[in-house]
Amino acid sequence: MPLKALYIKAAVFGMAALFFLSCSKEKLSDRAAVKMREFVEDISSYAKKYNPHFIVIPQNGPELAFKDLSPDEGIDNSYLNAIDGFGIEELFYNGTYAPDNDRINMLQTLGRYKPVFVSEYVKDSSQISVAYQKNEEQGFICFVRGSQNYYYTEIPDSVHNINPDNVYSLNDVTNYLYLINYDNFATKRQLLDTLKKYDFDLIIMDLFFNETPFTYAEINELKYKTNGARRLVISYINIGAAEKYRYYWQDDWRLHHPSWLKKPYEGYDDEIWVKFWKKDWQEIIYGNNDSYIKKIIDAGFDGAYLDNVEAYYFLYFD
């Protein structure tokens, strides 16, 4: 066969192989997405057995709310009925202004059904008010963290869009605080007393302070704003990556041991992406008295904020 023909054949074969590989990965990713959708639904079902009003908010991965992950295919009602709102990071700002138009369009549709909570990261303080405005124009509830608050360590000096009324559901929320890193607080009591000074409608916080969970009484303290009106307190939980500083972590664990510890989480040395569809991981998250969700319920939180729902982007099902 002429050399030119060999090059052409090799090129065609290479493109076909690349196309096949791309399609195969897409199918695997779709299968993983279905498993994540089922995982969220199962978490919700378990929690709502204990408290029918328990709030479930997945962070990122809004495609899961659509059939076949596509807005063109319509709403997936099973998933939509399992959750109470949508959490999204960096929608208009990722340090600088960089609107994610695909997600914005999706959330415009989803916002007709459930409240949308957006956490923006804005390095230029002069753009903070603009970030709020951009989200409010879409009907989204926004929390803006500045250049020193990438890891959710700080409480803003003031509450944006303050609301004097009682807050019993996500539909009542006009503002919120996202605080999951407590490095700025020496004691649990200092943190609690500080939070009680602010009139946020909703507080998203971590269940643990230095590996010690908050008690039911402590969380109940936070359920009232300074004017006495009711507010919601929701616990953060990572369902897509294992965290080495959590109560469930065992000293001899490492990457691929257990086998469901899948791959390093770039930028977060203390976290490892997990095969979230595996039974052993899911039993850590929900379904028994020592599970993470049960601890959140026992501590009296109004709901759970599920982080790394978008893990299926990176972890193909196997």
Per-residue pLDDT tens for 240-267?
999 999 999 999 999 999 999 999 999 9
pLDDT reported for residue 26: 60
Q: What is the DSSP letter of 282?
A: H
Render pLDDT for 28-47 as a digit per residue (tens, 0 to 9): 678 899 999 999 999 999 99
* Partners of residue 57 on adjacent β-strands: 305
The residue segments making up the domain with residue 243 are 3-84+151-313
Rounded to an integer, what distance in angstroms lies between the CA atom of residue 284 and that of residue 297? 14
* Cis peptide leading into residue 258 (ω within 30°): yes
129 found inside a domain = no
Report the greatest alpha carbon distance in the chain. Answer: 85
Pairing between β-strand 176-179 and β-strand 202-206 as defined by DSSP bridges: parallel
Q: What is the DSSP letter of 154?
A: -
Render pLDDT for 47-64 as a digit per residue (tens, 0 to 9): 999 999 999 999 999 999
pLDDT reported for residue 69: 94
173 found inside a domain = yes
For 29, the token pair is: 């990713």
Q: Report the domain count for the chain.
A: 1
68: left (phi > 0), else alpha (psi -120 to 50), else beta? left
Rounded to an integer, what distance in angstroms lies between the CA atom of residue 290 and that of residue 169? 27
Strand order through the sheet with 241-243: 241-243, 271-274, 261-264
Q: Are 211 and 182 in contact (CB under 8 A)?
A: no
Residue 308 confidence (pLDDT) above 70? yes
Residue 3 confidence (pLDDT) above 70? no
63 found inside a domain = yes
The identity of residue 316, as a single letter, is: Y
What are all long-range contacts of 101-104, with beta carbons under 8 Å and residues at least 24 apart?
A: 103/62, 104/138
104 found inside a domain = no
41 found inside a domain = yes
- pTM (2 decimals)? 0.91
Could you count the other beta carbons within 10 Å of the beta carbon of residue 147? 11
Q: Are 232 and 203 in contact (CB under 8 A)?
A: yes
CATH of the domain at 299: 3.20.20
Render pLDDT for 143-186 as a digit per residue (tens, 0 to 9): 999 999 999 999 999 999 999 999 999 999 999 999 999 999 99
16 found inside a domain = yes
285 found inside a domain = yes
- Nearest Cα neighbor of 225 from 203, 204, 247 is 203
117 found inside a domain = no
Q: Who contacts 67 (Cβ-Cβ below 8 Å, separation ≥6)?
A: 73, 74, 75, 76
* Partners of residue 95 on adjacent β-strands: 122
Rounded to an integer, what distance in angstroms lies between the CA atom of residue 318 and that of residue 314? 12
First to last CA, the chain: 41
Q: Burial of 315 by CB count in 10 Å (0-12 exposed, 13-18 middle, 19+ buried)? A: buried
